[in-house]
Structure 1
Amino acid sequence: MILYYSPGACSLAPHILLEETGVRHELVEVNVQQGKTQEPEFLKLNPKARVPVLVTGTEVLTEVPAICWYIGSTAGRFIPADVLLQARMLEWFNWLSGTLHAVAFGGKWRPQRFVTQADMFRDVQAMADRNLRDGFAHVEQWLADKPWAIGAEYTLVDPYVFVFHNWARSIGVDVRSDYPRWHAHSARMLARPAVQRALQREGF
């Protein structure tokens, strides 16, 4: 498998899972901040101009939930046997990718995706801040009395939850004080050797 990633981006989630499962893989950095996802060669691979991308044989997979599911299914790990818990995991994936990432952080960091007039960017970002606060509160609530996202079992979605903790800190949120359950989840993530290896390989 070949994972195309950008340091600290949402691609960190499948990167962690590759480290967790021990699946043989290569990493190719495509730095978002340097505009590398807009270059013609990468656009041939993923016309959506986004990371992550997972290449396996002749197949190209995009989108974090799909890639994480493929890695876990291939390795036979981190997918609960109980169908309801599988649904809970997918519920997390859907909300994190579609709402917290695309809407809330998207509005915060890339308001130009929502409006064309630059004088409206500040309004979009202000609404994004409110959406982020609501989203962080939801994460905190959903982690109540559980060591991992869906319960006692570490699953595919936990590295994705960890990504957003890092992003929250990057915009100045005091996660330790304001969202202690989420902070505790992140501490458990950081104690895992696979997480440490992924962070080190991405330069953190």
Structure 2
Amino acid sequence: MKLHFAPGTISIAVAIALEEAGLDYDTRQLDFAKGDQQSSEYSVINPKGRVPALETEGTVLTETGAILDYIAALSPGLMPTDPIKAARARSVTYYLASTMHVNHAHKMRGHRWADAEASHKDMTAKVPETMTASAQYVENECLAGPYVLGDTLCIADAYLFMVCTWLPGDGVELAPFPRIRTFMDAMEERPSVKAIRAKGMMR
């Protein structure tokens, strides 16, 4: 396997999941500031021009949630067998992908939705409000214990961890969210996160 990633992006959730699964993988780091994600070389890997992309078994997988599901299929302990619990894990992942991640993206990726510079500034200014609202939802609805499903880690936790690392930079004060703080502390203690930090993949 080869993971194409950029530090600080959601692609690190995939790296954490790979570590949790005990799977061997190589990495290729993209420099977004240099536009590596838009290069002709990378467009062959992922024409979307985004990370993550995981090369595996002669194909390339994209979209974080889909890659996490793939990893869970290779390491069943990362997804519960109970269909309700599995659906709950996926519901958190889908919320993060469709709402909270998008809220964050408005800070630096306004060009995806509007052309006027004033619109970009307005979207950036809105980010602390929308990310705080998302953090409140996570606090109230997404954590059944130290992790999403309680005491057992699942693939949704890898996604949630990375999204929550963005909160301080998005102007969100974590003091009002004790469940999120407990979750982040638990994740930081996991060997997977420590390994990723040791490899310099996280900022």
**TM-score using structure 1 length:** 0.93
Q: Distance in 2 between matches of 1:50 and 1:178?
A: 33
The match for 1:171 is 170
The match for 1:194 is 192
3-state SS, counterpart of residue 195 of structure 2: helix
Q: Give structure 1 stretches of 5+ with no counterpart.
A: none
- Structure 1 residue 180: deviation in Å? 1.6
Paired AA for residue 192 in structure 1: R
Q: Distance in 1 between matches of 2:48 and 2:166?
A: 22
**Structure 1 stretch displaced more, 6-15 or 136-145:** 136-145
Q: How large is the Cα RMSD of the aligned pairs?
A: 1.5
Change (3 A) 1:144 1:29: closer
Equivalent pairs counted in the alignment come to 202
**Structure 1 stretch displaced more, 91-100 or 194-203:** 194-203
8 Å contact kept, 1:108–1:129: no
Change (3 A) 1:90 1:203: closer
8 Å contact kept, 1:3–1:26: yes
**TM-score using structure 2 length:** 0.93
Paired AA for residue 199 in structure 1: R
- Structure 1 residue 89: deviation in Å? 0.9
8 Å contact kept, 2:143–2:150: no
- Structure 1 residue 164: deviation in Å? 1.3
Q: Distance in 1 between matches of 2:151 and 2:116?
A: 47
3-state SS, counterpart of residue 60 of structure 1: strand
Q: Give structure 2 stretches of 5+ with no counterpart.
A: none
The match for 1:39 is 39
Identity %: 29
Q: Distance in 2 between matches of 1:145 and 1:89?
A: 11
- Structure 1 residue 172: deviation in Å? 4.0
Q: Distance in 2 between matches of 1:123 and 1:155?
A: 36
The match for 1:19 is 19
- Superposed CA deviations along residues 61-92 of structure 1, whole A, max 9, x for unmatched, are 00000001101111222110110011011101
- Structure 1 residue 93: deviation in Å? 1.0
The match for 1:28 is 28
Paired AA for residue 197 in structure 1: A
- Superposed CA deviations along residues 165-185 of structure 1, whole A, max 9, x for unmatched, are 11112234332x121210110
Change (3 A) 1:37 1:115: same
Q: Distance in 1 between matches of 2:159 and 2:34?
A: 23
